[in-house]
Structure 1
Amino acid sequence: MPFTLQLPDEYGYILAVASSTFLLNTYHFFLTGSSRRASGVAYPAPYATDEQVAKNPKALTFNCAQRAHANFIENQPSFLGALAIAGLRFPMTSAVLGATWVFGRLAYAIGYTSSGPKGRLFGFAVSALSDNSLRLMAMYASVMYVMGQ
C-alpha cells in the first residue's frame, strides 16, 4: 500500500531549527579550536593528559570544550530524527521544543567551558527535557501514522 506524506505548512520552522544545529556545531568547532590553541595541546591528541591539566588550567578548559562538542555530535542525530518525525504531526510544538534544545545545547557548551563539568548542568537539563519530549512526540506520531490516523 503506498504511503503519501504531506508536510504541514509550518514544516519550514522544523527545517529552520534543524539548520540552526549546523551553526551550533560550527560554534563548537571554533570553541574547541580556540581552547586547543590556548591550552597548547597539539594534534592529534584528542584531550589533554592529567599531567597537562595539572600544570595548565587552560588544558582543562580544552578538555571541557572537546567533551561538550563530542556530546553535541553524539546527540544531534537522534535529536534531528525526533524533530523531523514529531514535526510531521506537531510542527509548531516541535519547532519550539527544538529551539529550546538548541538553546540548551548552547548553554551546555558555554557552561561547560566556562565553569567546568558542573557548569553544564543547566544546559543539560534544558536540552534533556526538550529532547525527551520530542522523542515521545515522535513515537506517538509514528504510531498514529502506522494506525493510519
Structure 2
Amino acid sequence: MTSIVVPKEYGYRKQAGLGYPKAYADSSDMSAADADRKKKMYLFNCAKRAEDNYHENHASVMAAMLISGVQYPLTTTGLSVVWMAGRLVYALGYTRTDKSKGEGRLAGSFFWFAQLGLFGLTAWTGIKMVL
C-alpha cells in the first residue's frame, strides 16, 4: 500500500485566505490584500492554473494510453512515465517563487513531446486495427 504525506505548509488556498467555492483570487481580492497576502494569492492562482491545465489534458491522454497500450504496451508505458514526470515538473515550476509570471512551468514543457507521441501511437494503433 502506498501513502502520500502532505507537509503542513502545503495548502495554497489556506495560505491565501480564500474560502470555497472561490476558484481563483480575482482582482478585487488582490486589491484588498497586503503585499505578503498578494504573493500567496498569486501562488494559489498559479497552483490552480497548473491543476486546471492538468485536467484539460488528462482525459485525452488516458484514452490515448488505453488505446495505444493495446498494441505497444512498453512504448506506451515509457511515454506515460515521461508525460507524468513532465506534468509534475510543470506544476512544481508553475508555483516557484523565484520565477515571475509562472515561467518556471516551461521546464516541464517536455510533457508535450510525450503527449504527442501517445497521440501518434494511438492513431497508428487505430490504422493498424482497420487495415
Which residue identity does 1:134 align to in structure 2?
Answer: L
Q: CA deviation at 1:86?
A: 1.1
1:74 Cα offset (Å): 1.1
Task: Tell me how far apart the structure 2 counterparts of residues 136 and 127 of structure 1 sit (CA, whole Å).
Answer: 14
- Are 1:92 and 2:74 an aligned pair? yes
Q: What percent identity do the matched residue pairs reach?
A: 32
Bigger relative contact order, structure 1 or 2 (CA pairs below 8 A, ≥6 apart): 1
Aligned residue in 1 for 2:110: 126
1:1-149 equivalent positions in 2, closer than 5 A = 34-53=11-30, 55=33, 56-114=38-96, 115=99, 116-123=101-108, 125-147=109-131
Q: 1:50 offset after TM fit, Å?
A: 2.3
Write the deviation string for residues 116-146 of structure 1: whole angstroms up to 9, x where unpaired: 42111121x2111100011001000001001
Number of aligned residues: 118
Q: Distance in 2 between matches of 1:40 and 1:118?
A: 24
TM-score normalized by structure 1? 0.72
How far is 1:41 from its partner?
1.3
Match of 2:11, SS?
Answer: helix
Over the aligned positions, Cα root-mean-square deviation in angstroms equals: 2.2
SS at match of 1:128: helix
> For 2:50 and 2:74, how far apart are their aligned partners in 1?
28
Deviation sequence 1:73-123 (CA, Å, 0-9, x none): 111100001111111111111100000000000001100012442111121
Point out where structure 2 has 5 or more consecutive residues left out of the alignment.
none
Tell me: CA distance 1:57–1:51, structure 2 relative to 1, closer, same or farther (3 Å). Answer: farther
Give the distance between the partners of 1:85 and 1:44, measured in 2 at CA.
36
Equivalent in the alignment of 1:7:
none
